[in-house]
Structure 1
Amino acid sequence: MFDHTKNNEIFERAYRCIAGGVLSNFKKEKYSAPVFVKSAEGCHITDFDGNVYYDFSLSAGPAILGHSNQEYKEALKREIDLLYTNGDSLIQIEAAEKIQEIMPAAELVRFAVSGADAVFNAVRVARAYTGKNMYVKFKGQYNGGLDYVLGGMTENESDPIASDAIDPKDYYSDMCYTEGRAAHALDDCFLIEFNDLEGMRELFQKHGDEIACVVMEPSALNMNGCVAEPGYMQGVRELCDQYHVVMIYDETLTGFRVAPGGAAEYYGVVPDMSTFAKAVGGGFPVALYTGKKEIMNVLADTRVLGVGTYNGHPLAAAAILETIRQLYANDGEAFREIRRMTDMLKEGLLAAAKKAGVSMIVQGVPGALFPVFTEKEKIINHKDALAHADFKKHGRFMGLMKERGILHNSRLCISPAHTEEDIRYCIRQAEEALEIMAKEA
């Protein structure tokens, strides 16, 4: 539908100097080049061929204020005039104080550069605090590209130790598999199913004295958009308290999107630690990890090494402060707008699927939706998705959406910069895509 002549020429140029032609393997598509951006404003992106895209990727999540936000740019310019190198200054303290003010359990803060960096440090802190070694993560969730939290699979349900392999029936293990991983990187990891409280209880009964922490996406926004079942988060909280295990929310995607107080407010269950990235900086490369004072004190008394030249860079701190200022203005009006636009899009997508006669549900949280092709009313975890969701149909649908000018990262992210017309445009393209899929069935 679009002309990609110049875009493809740029991709060929990129391929000659950048390994694979992309800056992240997750941006590499089998049959098309990534969209190279010439200009962007609000939630509209223009490429070098003049094609205009409606951005529901938001730069894979960070651009919560949209693109070319004038006040955001001015805040960065002011900081550039004051300090643009990585020196200690007042603005980092102000950013940390603001995080303390708005996020539950953020009694102390440390900055990082990426979500993966923040998760790595949070696990290290939890191990030092508890004196235990093992950690728990969840099938179908993504916690960054570092060896020990990336992907993995288990041989069977009775053996929850993660292994570095590919299960041909498991899309997640295939997507996150990498050669070159340290041989024993996953030996300290228990890999279990989200929303299976009984399975976690059995694991804790057997290994609770070995487990330092549980690292979870509060909603699986990287795959299938599964949200916590009623009582699940509270059950995890109680188990962690019982066995002296640090409960960590990886809010790389949910933070500064689902609610003013993040997933802790959304679910009403406060973790011991949280990690934040993406939306916290509005598009700037910045992350942070927070926690209760008694836990984070392992950094304060230098028992744990927490380092990084660019941690809390003044420009990153300025980005945090301005993003928070805009999101929390007018008593958090932006969060209400995100929820309203999310509801509008979800209702429209479901109506489009019903009209086309295609079995599709829409899962997720305010600010991020995930279309799932299934006959079920909901998918609760990765095991459920493998048994009952059609990943090929999902890929086909999202491919058709991109052809029609909808940028995404398999999920659809919504910001206060989206207008009702943006949402209606996305719904119209979904109607076309689903009609095509109905004819292909």
Structure 2
Amino acid sequence: MAYPFLVFLFIFRARRGKEEHERLRERYGYASCKRTVGPLVWLHAASVGELRAVVPLIESIERFGLNLVLTTGTVSSATIARDCISERTQHQYSPLDITCSISRFLDHWQPDLAVFTESEIWPTTIHKLAKRKIPQVLVNARISDRSNNRWMNCLTLANTIFSQFSQVIAQSEVDSERFCALGAPWVVVGGNLKNDVAIPVPNLHELKRYRTMIAERPTWIAVSTHQGEESCIAKVHHMLSQHAPGILTVLVPRHPNRSNEVEREMKKKGLRIVTRTSGHLIDHDTDILLGDTIGEMGFYLRLSEIAFMGKSLKLKAKGGQNPIEPALTGSAILSGRFVHNFQETYQKFLDSGGVRFVDDEKMLAEYVLHLLKNRSDLKLMQDSARKTVSTMKGALEYSIEMLDSYIRPLRLYASLQRSHHYHSKILSSKNTSH
């Protein structure tokens, strides 16, 4: 019933920079490019984080000689996709989970295999794929406490939907148990693909320039913060400045489109702020460096050795953020206690001493100050985090192994097609010469 009115929603989102106006038709299943010849894999990743996690998987499928259509749901992920996919992969915005849109998409692309990531469960899409007998695999699969409770409250519907998956490759044992309870017929534990992703190397010239501007100033970073947490970070900065003169806080909101809002909030609290996009120099009076760019988390994390993970400190912003990236870049990790979306991961870091939980702003300030003044404790946390993440690799190799039974027939079909095309060209040239 809402379908005719969705165009107004998309136009509104486009004006706010959340959609590409010239590509809105893709949301309705209209393709903006031709389908490539031969077997095709459809891979869907919701946003930037999911996309980065499956890029190595995409590259592996491409090396098998197969073509892909990659769908994502955000402008930022589309921007990243342009830089990290080859000519074998075509990018489209994900179609609406409405019968006419998804049918139009499937009619054009005719995928031979559908691969979804993490917690992308779209009932109409799953139903239409099952009706066309297209295998569906959920990789790097996870399900949050909140989503699990919702599905369990409508278990009959959940069983109908989840039973359509040919396979689920879960991130953890907890996720595996949940998917099994919801009706998925074949579930294995493969680990988290994000653990195997190499952190993009930042622009070394820019990194050196910023490090020179920061010089010897004590620095810490708060990443992936959500609404309500930035005010906490401002309080922490004020507390730290009383004991660590000249301290610089690097603040990177989870959603860069909130940067203007965050900047206004920091200024109201009397803090002097420089944004990454402004190009202004960081001087001794700068309190906050605001990371307002997309795809530069590796750059920001390399500006400090102490990282606080957002979405964890306040009840309105809870669930946690994955600590893998800061661990890979050598950070000592601090977090609030609301991390249930990544509870197994955090437990491993907690057991090894690579992460410390804080209850409030005061405790966060105390931990940051302690690590700034105690180099040995800082190094111990950094080393523990590195060792922990090194034991959590292997998900990519395992996922490829699990996908092999679906990929191998497509590889054979593609090989036969190429062979037939080659022999047809030979015969054609011979007939021409005669």
- The alignment's TM-score, normalised by the length of structure 2, stands at 0.27
Higher relative CO (Cα under 8 Å, sequence separation at least 6) belongs to 1
Q: Which has the higher helix share?
A: 2
- The alignment's TM-score, normalised by the length of structure 1, stands at 0.26
Computing the radius of gyration from Cα coordinates, the structure with the larger value is 2
